[in-house]
Amino acid sequence: MIDLIIACIFGILVGCITGLFPGIHVNTSGAIIYTLSPFLLNFTSIEAICIFLASLAVSHALLEFIPSILLGVPEEATALSILPGHRMVIEGRGKEAIRIVSIGGYGAILVTIITLPIFAIILPYFHNLLKPYLWLILIIISIILIYKLSNNKKETIWSLILFLLSGIIGWAVFETPLSSNLSLMVTFTGLFGISTILFSLNDNSIIPHQNPFYEINIDKTKIKNIFLGGISGAILGFLPGFGPAQGGIIAQDMSNTTDDDASNFLTVISGINTSNCLFSLISIYLIGNPRSGIAVYISYMITKFTLNILIMFIGVSLISVSISLIFAIKIGDKFIKIIEGIDYKKLSTIAIFIMIILVYTFNIIYKYPLWYVTTFNKFYSTWINPSLPRSK
């Protein structure tokens, strides 16, 4: 029992570190741990490794908002075209933004746990009913999102091209000569890690003076958005191929929330992000399918996902999000104080080198062709990344 508690605490701490490190995606961290699992099993149990991964995912989901809000802030003249979190930082409301995403993420986990009995009743039924048509539902939703996010025919065409290329990548990853865990690590590193950092290096990150005074009002609107974030994250945990980015757009339409309403928008997005972490694990028990990279690794190691294991992961998620809530606020405040003294380009360059070293290290250990890994990692990070913002 003590080893499980240690694994949970250690997972929270590692998740805080990876969440604060720009460009390290949670699936990249999960791939590294899963790759090391044969070695780690000499010292601990499968349950401990899985608890470590679950707590890491929840902690990472909450803490990753800190660098995304505070780093990569453009000039004041472009404030109207940037993300809501950046806009709040430019207005000197960085501390308020950190607290909003922390409370939104924490509340969404509670909503997911409270509504779990309802999902446990209706989700398996709807999954069996809709399973033959799930591919059609996903295509329809994807087309709607592409249409809504495109301002003209040119953007629509490019969106469709990226959509098709993303599908090809998904197929190609599992057809490589690499093992599945290593191919996922290489893909996530290039697709979510290095490419995002390379894009953000084009911006001059300048953090203006932040107001030390803030006020957070938990009114009916905030509660509604927390609830909406928790429910949306749970639904996304059921639908394959959809994540917080797509869920945020759908949730915006449902709540009539716009990007200009930064506070409520961040509440919904953070809620979706953390709720999705938990429900992707719940989906293993309810429908037998993991819905995230971390959930996939856990399902590989725990082949029989019982009710007791589900309750264990719910407890781990609740503990992780509670401790991470405190860490997010404390670290966020400290981060705001020291951020002006940090050279963002140097920090990003260090992150890129660390990820490259990790990729090559594991490939050398497992004796895979380095030329093959280098080519595909460069291809993913340079040309294919649908998650990147469109250039103006």
pLDDT in tens, 32-47: 787 788 788 888 888 8
Q: What does DSSP assign to residue 366? A: T
Q: Are 340 and 207 in contact (CB under 8 A)?
A: yes
Confidence at residue 154, expressed as pLDDT on a 0 to 100 scale: 86
Question: What confidence score (pLDDT) does residue 171 get?
Answer: 80
Residue 120, helix vs strand vs coil: helix
Residue 80 pLDDT exceeds 50: no
Q: Give the mean pLDDT of the chain.
A: 76
Say if residue 391's pLDDT is above 50.
no
Among the ranges given (12-16, 18-22, 57-61, 143-147), the one the predictor scored with the smallest mean pLDDT: 18-22
For 92-122, b/e burial (b = at least 16 CB within 10 A) is bbbbbbbbbbbbbbbbbbbbbbebbeebeee
How large is the average pLDDT for residues 347-354?
76
Residue 21: the pLDDT is 73
% of the chain exceeding 70 in pLDDT = 74
Are 21 and 60 contacting, i.e. CB atoms less than 8 angstroms apart?
A: no
What is the residue type of 186?
Answer: V
- Please give the average per-residue pLDDT across 124-139, as a whole number: 80
The pTM (predicted TM-score) of the whole model is 0.73
Query: Would you say 317 and 5 are in contact if contact means Cβ atoms under 8 Å apart?
Result: no
Q: How many CB atoms lie within 10 A of CB 235?
A: 19
Q: What is the pLDDT of residues 253-291, one digit of tens each?
A: 665 655 557 777 888 888 888 888 888 888 888 877 777
Asked if 45 and 301 touch (Cβ cutoff 8 Å), the reply is: no
Mean pLDDT of 157-180: 79
Average pLDDT over residues 186-200: 69
Backbone angles phi, psi at 257, to 5 degrees: -95, 135
